[in-house]
Amino acid sequence: MITSVYAKIEYVTNTKMLFVANNWGYWVNVKPNSGFSRTDNNVLVFLHEMTFLAQNNAINKELYAFKSLKEKEWFKALLSINGVGPKTAMNVMVNKQEDVLALIKNNDLNGLLRLENINKKVATMLLASDVADKHYFKNQIMGTDKGSPSRDDGLDDNDNKDSSDDELLSELVIEAIDCLINLGYKEDQIKTALAELDLKNESINDSADLVAVIIKQIGLRTSEIS
């Protein structure tokens, strides 16, 4: 599964984008204000793949592209809400994430209805969810509340490369967290293990490697306690 690539943007509309990476072309879904441009070259694209079962029982796959890891995780958080599909999630993402989360936390139905592309049905689903709490938990683990720095912060090319590397590592950590929770591990176990690891000194090529490292660390803690 492709999670992120450096790509050249060939074509972009309000809902679709074509990019080329490693001589392969990818036709993907984007939100209306995606931030991508045809002038983008060697830009980091974060991807989320979804699999659908068509009426003829054929398996269809769709890719959704985002400018940042924060956007991708917000999309995945919205998809976790009962009744929210990818189209609805993309429509919600036209609005600022911070605004939507604040209104959900304040249980502000009228405030949500004033936002773009959010009707009463969608607003009700958002308020009935625990999406704000879930997203906060992941940000606390990753320390990504403030987003990634940009050129305006006075960073040189090396600093921006380090920032991209950190963001890629953050993506692997979040994928590993999801996997471990699905395997039955507790959030506290994962959080403690991550706090004890120096991930940059580990040999990690993908999320599977990271899952193995975290499980090993959890095992070491369990052995020490027993």
CATH, residue 136: 1.10.150.20
CATH, residue 21: 2.40.50.140
- Residue pair 174/69 in contact (Cβ under 8 Å)? The answer is yes
Statement to judge: residues 49 and 93 lie in one domain: no
Statement to judge: residues 128 and 155 lie in one domain: no
Quick one: pLDDT at residue 63?
95
Question: Which structural domain range is residue 208 located in?
Answer: 151-225
Statement to judge: residues 55 and 123 lie in one domain: no
Neighbour tally for 121: CB within 10 Å = 10
Quick one: pLDDT at residue 12?
96
pLDDT for 206-225, tens place per residue?
Answer: 777 788 888 888 888 776 55
Domain count across the chain: 3
DSSP classification of residue 66? E
Statement to judge: residues 141 and 208 lie in one domain: no
Statement to judge: residues 123 and 59 lie in one domain: no
Statement to judge: residues 109 and 135 lie in one domain: yes
Statement to judge: residues 6 and 24 lie in one domain: yes
Quickly tell me which residue has 């991930």 as its tokens. 199
Statement to judge: residues 53 and 110 lie in one domain: no
Distances (CA, A) of 80 to 53, 72, 76, 77, 128: 18, 13, 6, 5, 12
Burial of 184 (0-12, 13-18, 19+ CB in 10 A): exposed
Q: Among 89, 114, 147, where does a domain finish? A: 147
Q: Among 67, 88, 115, where does a domain finish? A: 67
Statement to judge: residues 77 and 32 lie in one domain: no
Higher pLDDT, 42 or 172: 42
Q: Among 121, 147, 173, where does a domain finish? A: 147
Q: How confident is the model at residue 161 (pLDDT cuts 50, 70, 90)?
A: very low
Quickly tell me which residue has 């605004």 as its tokens. 99
pLDDT for 107-130, tens place per residue?
Answer: 999 999 999 999 999 999 999 988
Statement to judge: residues 166 and 183 lie in one domain: yes
144-183 as b/e: b if 16+ CB within 10 A: beeebeeeeeeeeeeeeeebeebbebbbbbbbbbebbeee
- Residue pair 180/208 in contact (Cβ under 8 Å)? The answer is no
- 25-29, 30-34, 154-158: least confidently modelled range: 154-158
Quick one: pLDDT at residue 216?
87
Statement to judge: residues 48 and 76 lie in one domain: no
- Residue pair 36/74 in contact (Cβ under 8 Å)? The answer is no
Q: How confident is the model at residue 136 (pLDDT cuts 50, 70, 90)?
A: very low
Q: How far apart are CA 84 and CA 125, in angstroms?
A: 8
Quick one: pLDDT at residue 3?
80
Statement to judge: residues 138 and 162 lie in one domain: no
Neighbour tally for 39: CB within 10 Å = 8
Q: How far apart are CA 151 and CA 171, in angstroms?
A: 21
Q: How far apart are CA 152 and CA 118, in angstroms?
A: 32
